[in-house]
Amino acid sequence: MTHSEFIRSDRDGKLYFLETAARVGGAYLANMVEAACGLNLWREWAKVEMAGASGEYRLPEARHEYGGLVISLARQEWPDTGAYTDPEIVYRLRMRHHVGLVLRSADQRRIDQLIDDYSRRFQTDFFACLPPAKSRDPE
């Protein structure tokens, strides 16, 4: 398994390369993929590794739905997402000072709509920002 990460700049609209790594992506992306298509990337990676170079691996049948993820640091120690009640929510992150929702729908526009809505609501309801860590490099 590998993944590559890019980020789009709000300033110039360009995509910038962040990283390529030989692992399943973090930040609950595997949860989002499993919600959308039913495949657990960690489990499938283990099957590929166990098959080895001469083994056989067959990808299981996958659902063809859409997934979304909204995640943020939170002001609250244990944020309450009880006011978020849409049926497309399939997973609620439970982590101290973090808030997150994983979404699934057969309709991509619905996922886009929920991500836009939840991003705005998270900003008001939960968002926290930490200042950058001070550099340990001697000046």
The CATH number of whichever domain residue 17 belongs to comes to 3.30.470.20
Q: Is residue 55 part of a domain?
A: yes
Range of the structural domain that residue 89 is part of = 3-125
71 Ramachandran zone, left/alpha/beta (phi>0; psi -120 to 50): beta
Q: Is residue 58 part of a domain?
A: yes
Q: Is residue 98 part of a domain?
A: yes
The residue whose two tokens read 């700049």 is: 9
Say what the pLDDT of residue 138 is: 58
Say what the pLDDT of residue 87 is: 98
Say what the pLDDT of residue 64 is: 96
Contact 3, 21 (CB under 8 A): yes
pLDDT along the chain (139 residues), means of 10: 83 92 84 95 91 90 97 97 98 97 98 98 95 68
Q: Is residue 72 part of a domain?
A: yes
Q: Is residue 41 part of a domain?
A: yes
Is 76 in a helix, a strand, or coil? coil
Q: Is residue 36 part of a domain?
A: yes
Q: Is residue 17 part of a domain?
A: yes
Q: What is the CA radius of gyration of the chain?
A: 18
Say what the pLDDT of residue 133 is: 77
Question: For the chain, how many structural domains are there in total?
Answer: 1
pTM of the model: 0.79
Buried b (16+ CB within 10 A) or exposed e, 53-85: eeeeeeeeeeeebbbbbbbbebeeeebebeebe
Q: Is residue 44 part of a domain?
A: yes
